[in-house]
Amino acid sequence: MLNRRSALKVLNGAVVGLAAAAVFGPPAGAAAQAAPLEVTLGALMRKRPPPPLYEIDPVPPDEGAAGAALAAVDNNTTGRFTQQHYTLNQMVLEGGQAAPEAAAKLVDGGAGFLLVDLGPDELLAVVDALKGRDAVIFNVSAADDRLRGADCRGRLFHVAPSRAMLTDALAQYFAAKRWSKLFLIVGPKPGDALYAEAMRASARKFGLKIAAEKPWEFGPLARARGDSVTQADALVFTRGTDYDIMVVADEAGDFGDYIPFRTWDARLVAGTQGLVATSWHRAQDAWGSAQLQSRFYKEAKRFMRPVDYQAWTAMRAVGEAVTRLKSASPSAVADYLVSDAFQLAAFKGVPVTFRPWDRQLRQPILLAQPSAIVGVAPLPGFLHQRTVLDTLGTDLPETACHQT
């Protein structure tokens, strides 16, 4: 569902177009214009709990949905000239509401394409429930590598970068800077373990060494208030280790922001905090992206976040495919997205495409500190026989994906 401002814009545009047609009619000697091709998409997500009162940068309740809403406006702007009209139906799950049943309702309502912002298990449940239906699912948030590997699905396209892509981007930067010895700190949550696993694989891939690895056992100090003995213990946590850069695996943000400037030795921090790898960042302004940032800010009254960008990209990919094919058939769009003909301008300097073997979006990854872009991966000097974008993430020879 579009936000109120975007919805009114689309509606007003439709009303103005109809009024002009009623007043002026078709040009003399021209055939009446055909009705536009109707394209319906669905957005499925779970309602987010309210953030703690002390959260500095809380996840907004419309994360993802706001990006999709802007893309719907963009698609319809182009659609006025290409005779297409896009409708976005949003469904927000609450409590124990089951995702597969909600997804089926969206498809029954005409949505041939679903933008899904759910965890990996719910995402797979949605895809499997829709098996045999003519629908294409876009993963706009889940980074789990298994979704691109042993648990991949033929109709599941990944716009969110995988953890392997994110850690490969960081490892390329470390290698380019010759920071070869890493100190890996791993948080207690499942996502932290998966991020650490990806970082170890990236270190091997790019010739780096995990010089030390320790679990974080001091609690959520980044969210704590006041000093304590536990915090004093954390101050000497990094003492006695020879390393070039510290890599933090803390996807929930419980402790990672506590570590910079508190290490025993003067060392940089990267990973899920400090220098981060991400699909999008509010400081990104190159390759025309400043206009995307400003349009999003005008509509949503906040900065664009990675999930917003990923939802925007998914919807724009559908728009690009439908425009080229002149068809809204999900099967035809799915085939086109993995063909050599598809490419999408996505404000990253090069066109983005989908890998045919695991349906992962190839895309540059931004390397950023909190208020500035530091670099963009792939970095110069990292080569590939197909495309340098395939230096990020799981390549074809290593894939465990056997699509179903």
pLDDT tens-digit series, residues 58-81: 999 999 999 999 999 999 999 999
Look at residue 386 and tell me whether its pLDDT is greater than 60.
yes
Residue 365 contacts residue 166 (beta carbons within 8 Å): yes
Instruction: State how far the Cα of 126 lies from the Cα of 101, in Å rounded to an integer.
Output: 8
Look at residue 2 and tell me whether its pLDDT is greater than 50.
no
- Burial of 95: CB neighbours in 10 Å, binned 0-12, 13-18, 19+: exposed
Instruction: Quote the distance between the C-alpha of residue 298 and its chain's center.
Output: 21
| Burial state string for 243-267 with b = 16 or more CB within 10 A and e = fewer than 16 | bbbbbbbbbebbbbbbbbeebeeeb
How are strands ordered across the β-sheet holding 136-139? 84-93, 37-46, 113-117, 136-139, 156-158
Q: Strand, coil or helix: what is 139?
A: strand
Instruction: State how far the Cα of 324 lies from the Cα of 195, in Å rounded to an integer.
Output: 38
Q: Which pTM does this prediction carry?
A: 0.91
For Cα atoms 75, 76, 80, give the angle at the middle one, nearest 5 degrees. Answer: 120
Domains and their CATH numbers in the chain: 4-161+281-363 (3.40.50.2300), 164-276 (3.40.50.2300)
Residue 207: other Cβ atoms inside 10 A: 10
Give 28's pLDDT tier (boundaries 50, 70, 90): very low
Six token digits for residue 281: 């960042």
pLDDT tens-digit series, residues 119-168: 999 999 999 999 999 999 999 999 999 999 999 999 999 999 999 999 99
Instruction: State how far the Cα of 224 lies from the Cα of 242, in Å rounded to an integer.
Output: 29
Q: Strand, coil or helix: what is 181?
A: strand
Length of the chain: 404
pLDDT tens-digit series, residues 159-202: 999 999 999 999 999 999 999 999 999 999 999 999 999 999 99
Least Cα distance to 244 among 221, 267, 264, 225 occurs for 267
Six token digits for residue 69: 């809403």
pLDDT tens-digit series, residues 350-371: 999 999 999 999 999 999 999 9
pLDDT of the residue at 34 = 79
Residue 174 contacts residue 208 (beta carbons within 8 Å): yes
Residue 45 contacts residue 307 (beta carbons within 8 Å): no
DSSP bridge pairs for 375: 367
